[in-house]
Amino acid sequence: MELDDILALGTPSGRQALEAAAEFPDGDPLAAASALRASGIPPALAAAALTQTALRRRATAKFGADATVMLFTRAGLEQATRAVVANRRARRLVAAGVRSVADLGCGVGADTIAFARAGLRVHAVDASPVTARIAEANVHALDLSGVVRVEARDATEVSLDEVDAVFCDPARRTSGGRRVFDPRAYSPPWEFVTGLATRVPHTVLKLAPGIDHDLLPDGAEGEWVSVDGDVVEATVWCGPLAEVPRRATLFRGTSVHGLTGSGLATAPVGPIGSYLYDPDGAVVRAHLVAEFAAGLDPAARLADATIAYVFADTLADTPFARRYEVLDRLPIALKKLRAALRSLDVGALTVLKRGSALDVEELRRSLRLSGTRPAVLALTRVAGEPAALLLRAVDAPAAAGG
């Protein structure tokens, strides 16, 4: 989307086009575009309005009712912080005594909005003029202009003298939209990002969940965040904001659960147990599997020191993992595994995988199962050897072998 499109949508004619586009349900976009043009809306404006309407509907999952008045780009929506995560971050800054914050790489304004609503004064910056204009429009639409200033500017050129905290979300995509996995290719540069805490002690960084722990600034808290099982970001809390070395934060519906630890502990290793616990990705990414196991059951252990499946002989409630009953250990060789599953009348097969090189879809095709019963299979390692475990999801209907 071009800057002219964004500006046009902010005019009375643009707002009228958005209202008209919202009347059309998801369906044939060509028919909707034709209807809008037939009503007198210029083609370019009709296309922009229909694009925004589609993006707003998708954005409801992240922004709730706010999405109905906000503007987005496809990339901006995909990369935007979920409102529940941004709101919690803002509350933590306020609790630390922060009163003003620079949002470097503000995107469409998700965190800027959360900061402003929490009572902070915000200087929001994005290097893209289009994105900065969208953020400004969103701030205005939500009546937050009085406490937010938005600029289209390179983050490295921003003075930080007038704020007491910095939030930086570096761009992790190329101009062509491809993901960037090497922090040295971030924008602004990685050296600038990690150096912010030396300029403003109250610094928070939003990074990709796959960030290497060794790259985090010394003394910082690394927090990995998941929403309904999806790991969405790594947050780095620097200086006086750091409370613990490592944290996993899980949003589950309206509940929030936290697990903390050193990130350096190791869990004991032992035999397979009656139950397998598959920790949430945030727990695994935060290197808190040992802390999870210790809090689960004193006898909880790994069956392989390198695999994050936790085994126990007792069943415990936990928000930090999916739970499975271990029904059997099956042969890993294809022909024998096929025979074992067919003998159990397995048809629909859910496959979990940690530490296995097997391709799940290729395995399904090779097994050629046609039974009537569902089953769960974990492909993993036990004591360094490949293993296949037949499981039943706890609280699910009985599976094969149950």
Question: What number of H helices and E strands is found in the chain?
Answer: 13, 16
Are 238 and 380 within one domain? no
Packed helices 29-38 and 12-22: angle between N→C axes, nearest 10 degrees: 130
* Per-residue pLDDT band at 176 (split at 50, 70, 90): low
Are 104 and 188 within one domain? yes
Q: Which class for 141: exposed (0-12), middle (13-18), buried (19 or more C-beta within 10 A)?
A: middle
Are 279 and 384 within one domain? yes
At residue 397, the pLDDT reads: 53
* Per-residue pLDDT band at 175 (split at 50, 70, 90): low
Instruction: State how far the alpha carbon of 215 is from the alpha carbons of 168, 192, 202, 238, 317, in Å.
Output: 16, 13, 18, 13, 34
Domain membership of residue 263 (yes or no) is: no
Q: In whole angstroms, what separates CA 71 from the centre of its chain?
A: 21
Q: Domain ends where: 20, 40, 72?
A: 72
How many other C-beta atoms can be found within 10 angstroms of the C-beta atom of residue 364?
A: 14
Domain membership of residue 259 (yes or no) is: no
Number of structural domains found in the chain: 3
Ramachandran angles phi, psi of 149, nearest 5°: -120, 125
- Residue 355 near residue 307 (C-beta atoms within 8 A): yes
Looking from the CA of 148 toward its CB, the CA atoms found within 13 Å total 31
Are 7 and 88 within one domain? no
Choose between 235 and 33: higher pLDDT.
Answer: 235
DSSP H helical ranges for 39-174: 43-63, 74-79, 83-95, 110-117, 129-141
Domain membership of residue 268 (yes or no) is: no
Domain membership of residue 284 (yes or no) is: yes
Domain membership of residue 401 (yes or no) is: no
Looking from the CA of 305 toward its CB, the CA atoms found within 13 Å total 3
Q: Which class for 287: exposed (0-12), middle (13-18), buried (19 or more C-beta within 10 A)?
A: buried
Are 142 and 236 within one domain? yes
Query: Average pLDDT in the 119-130 region?
Result: 97
At residue 54, the pLDDT reads: 93
At residue 7, the pLDDT reads: 86
Q: Is the pLDDT of residue 314 over 90?
A: yes
Residues whose CB is less than 8 angstroms from the CB of residue 382 and which lie 6 or more positions away in sequence, other chains included = 272, 303, 304, 329
Are 25 and 57 within one domain? yes
User: What pairs with residue 393 in β-bridges?
Assistant: 324
Whether a cis peptide bond, with omega within 30° of 0, leads into 170 is: no
Packed helices 360-367 and 334-343: angle between N→C axes, nearest 10 degrees: 60
Choose between 23 and 283: higher pLDDT.
Answer: 283
Nearest to 89 by CA among 249, 260, 216: 249
Are 103 and 222 within one domain? yes
Domain membership of residue 399 (yes or no) is: no
- Residue 347 near residue 372 (C-beta atoms within 8 A): yes
CA 287, CA 282: separation in Å to the nearest integer? 9
Average pLDDT of the chain, as a whole number: 93
Nearest to 233 by CA among 60, 79, 397: 79
* Per-residue pLDDT band at 311 (split at 50, 70, 90): very high
Q: Name the most confidently modeled range: 34-43, 177-186, 198-207.
A: 198-207
Q: Is the pLDDT of residue 3 over 90?
A: no
Are 128 and 204 within one domain? yes
CA 191, CA 339: separation in Å to the nearest integer? 56
Q: Is the pLDDT of residue 177 over 80?
A: no
Are 120 and 158 within one domain? yes
CA 273, CA 310: separation in Å to the nearest integer? 9
Structure tokens at 400: 């094969």
CA 184, CA 194: separation in Å to the nearest integer? 11
- Residue 341 near residue 367 (C-beta atoms within 8 A): yes
Domain membership of residue 260 (yes or no) is: no
Query: Average pLDDT in the 383-400 region?
Result: 83
Q: Which residue has the tokens 């009546």?
A: 143
Domain housing 380 = 275-393
How many other C-beta atoms can be found within 10 angstroms of the C-beta atom of residue 43?
A: 11
* Per-residue pLDDT band at 402 (split at 50, 70, 90): very low
Are 319 and 232 within one domain? no
* Per-residue pLDDT band at 29 (split at 50, 70, 90): confident
Are 52 and 86 within one domain? no
Q: Domain ends where: 72, 90, 115?
A: 72
Q: Domain ends where: 14, 43, 72?
A: 72
CATH number at residue 176: 3.40.50.150
pLDDT tens digit sequence for 197-232:
999 999 999 999 999 999 999 999 999 999 999 999
Structure tokens at 267: 């869990």
At residue 27, the pLDDT reads: 63
Query: Average pLDDT in the 268-285 region?
Result: 98
* Per-residue pLDDT band at 182 (split at 50, 70, 90): confident
User: What pairs with residue 335 in β-bridges?
Assistant: none
Q: In whole angstroms, what separates CA 77 from the centre of its chain?
A: 13
CA 318, CA 371: separation in Å to the nearest integer? 33
Domain membership of residue 35 (yes or no) is: yes
Q: Is the pLDDT of residue 400 over 70?
A: no
Query: Average pLDDT in the 313-333 region?
Result: 96
Are 159 and 230 within one domain? yes
Q: Which residue has the tokens 């929001």?
A: 124
The DSSP result for 289-341, as a single string, is: HHHHHHHH-TT-EESSTT---EEESS----SSEEEEEEEEEE--SHHHHHHHH
Choose between 361 and 28: higher pLDDT.
Answer: 361
